[in-house]
Amino acid sequence: MDMNVSDKIRIVPSVLKGTLYAFIVLALCALVFSLLLVLTNQSEDSLKRSAYAIHALAALIGGFAAGRKSGAKGWSAGGITGLIYSIILYLAAFLGADRDLNLQLLFFAAGAFVAGALGGMLGVNTKKN
């Protein structure tokens, strides 16, 4: 079950690609929801659950891209992608909004790992031969 050197080398670009895809999805969804807020009379508080759904979707798609690119061990490539995605978001929240590490953020990271791993499992099985 140990990963050989070629598996480790293959996972790094896969995770980077998956993380990039996750942030592209996040940016597109944030743009759509920002337009919804501007064009309708909804408040930001009404979209709190949607924010978690957007993050789950971004981690899922990022994991899918990572798993598809890796070609093997999609769950690990996707899970690592979800973790890196959540760590980058935490660092942005910590540096930008002075948020502390709490249980909610740990659950968020676990959810991102699961969503990314699921995406990775789906992505590795769609790899074209």
Q: Convert the pLDDT of each residue in 75-91 to its tens digit.
A: 899 999 999 999 998 88
Domains of the chain: total: 1
For 117, residues 6+ apart whose C-beta sits below 8 A from its C-beta are: 63, 75, 76, 78, 79, 82
pLDDT in tens, 47-62: 777 888 999 999 999 9
Query: Is residue 89 domain-resident?
Result: yes
Give the domain range for residue 86. 8-37+51-124
Cα 8 from Cα 2, distance rounded (Å): 10
pTM of the model: 0.85
Alpha helices in the chain (DSSP H): 5-39, 48-70, 74-97, 103-124
Has residue 41 got a pLDDT over 90? no
Query: Is residue 78 domain-resident?
Result: yes
Cα 10 from Cα 67, distance rounded (Å): 10
